[in-house]
A and B are shown apart, each in its own frame.
Chain A
């Protein structure tokens, strides 16, 4: 969480300094929820399809920091080679999917990765996970994917970060059910809800969902209640969020709360946490510096091939 917050604030500065072309989308305030998923998944076998606010989850699931800076800064050596940017990155061969922008599209793709494993007899002990925001639950793709996963009873976990707004649209203009967890019943899957500003609650709830899926209890929806503590992207100041919501419990910072929790449980002291912050700062500094020295993509060197088949002329 600390590493993610540190990286993201650096990305924001780089954006504001004009060093990043295109958008910058942060997960400020959503780190506890996202990281809980990344920590609960097994890096050697599970599948993770992150979305825009999942820097913490990506890091927790083992995405090297350099892949974030390479993609944001347009390095030709990064996983996307400058062909895609920012949060649209991943290494599918390592079961870290590279999201497309279209919201809801990842749900069925993760389901398919699990179906493939089932056909091959390799599904035992594997969990597939993806996350979406409250707005994404209104898409047909989300609904179709959830229903398909439910029909196939796949070991799948879908995190819904209900952060009160989809860009500027409040939840009241997005859906009419009381809580998005009500949807779980309709799909015939398990659903739980958690205060996503509370790190310990997130860890417990998300891990329980992942383990339930692993035990064969079918898809699990986990709805996290929280507030995005940043704009939709760094171009957006989020001025549409009413002060009343900002100052409510939803607006608490999961990172500050998480640190208090860690300290009060005696897991780490103030000094140790300060050390984590320093380590994070230098790791981020190194990842940014490395990506900045790497070559940019060269239009004369890109092979411009959208096809794997050799017969298709570029």
Chain B
């Protein structure tokens, strides 16, 4: 038996519905149909009052969840694709994000965003949106790269009083498996050293963690030991673990699947430079997707985002090879 990333998300929601009367799920096609990715399969059958199909109204879906959250509920909103959360942007950043600071009343809301590219999905079903939400005060942004993190983070999202943007990577849904979910999760706010090393640090998150590990495996054949740090959440961002890693390796590659202008990789580089400049033996590097919309064709798509090849190439440059 093995558990996939999407199984973990399904399992977490099932348990949340069973454990807490205040949890409900809201999203398009999530009821009898079980959701576009089957993350809610069978849940409406067990909880007909708490698994609700929504109209195609992303703004109102989040607005509705905000209202419910300030009335004692713990809603989980499923966006069919993260890309469509652009329609809900206002409610998320201006309403949910500002509410606690303005009124003292928290908004315990979770928005699940199926993010990231899969071959053939094209410009509007592939985007990474964590940068947008990370930019705004008041929102926590989780970007799990492992099955166990997906499970524990989703459960933790619901128990937190703040709005959580839960970025789940579609590429990992069925591809990523583990024998069993770790009974103990790492706490929120702590990055993980996925692969220890000593010659360079790759700081990344979400699906790119796995691509970075592949690149590190290749370079290990040549004797290079690359450390891979999985941020796990981009807000909070665990700079301590990053700085400690850079202190060991002296070299930093910030890696992400998002567009290159600004974003998490820029944030990581700027913070490391500001707080750990003296630790760097080489200029820090960034590797992101290309600055174009995400192309449809699998051949174009595969080159749009960082790959083990392009990550390896960047690391060679970083190592002055």
Contacts and interface: CB of A to CB of B under 8 A. Distances in A.
A236 interface: no
Range class of the A interface residue count: 35 or more
Interface in A125-172: 140-141, 144-145, 147-148, 151
Given A113-B71, A119-B50, A151-B55, A108 B64 contact: yes
B150 interface: no
B189 to A, nearest CB: 5
Contacts of B87: 140
Interface string A83-108: 11000101111000010111001111
Given A113-B68, A119-B50, A306-B97, A108 B103 contact: no
B98 interface: yes
Contacts of B236: 311-313
Closest 5 CB pairs of A and B: A112-B67, A108-B63, A144-B60, A116-B71, A112-B64
Nearest to A145: B60
Nearest to B71: A116
B103 to A, nearest CB: 5
Contact of A100 (B49, B68, B98, B189): B98
Given A105-B90, A119-B50, A98 B103 contact: yes
A300 interface: no
A119 B24 contact: yes
A120 interface: yes
A80 to B, nearest CB: 6
User: Which of A90, A116, A313 gathers most chain B CB within 10 Å?
Assistant: A116
A110 B61 CA distance: 12
Interface of A: 79-80, 83-84, 88, 90-93, 98, 100-102, 105-117, 119-120, 140-141, 144-145, 147-148, 151, 305-309, 311-313
A83 B101 contact: yes
A122 to B, nearest CB: 9
A84 B102 contact: yes
B55 A144 contact: yes
Interface string B55-75: 101111111111111111101
A98 B102 contact: yes
B70 A113 contact: yes
A307 B71 contact: no
A79 B105 CA distance: 11
Contacts of A100: 94-95, 98
B67 A308 contact: no
B188 interface: yes
B103 A111 contact: no
Contacts of A140: 59, 87
A91 B101 contact: no
A166 B198 CA distance: 63
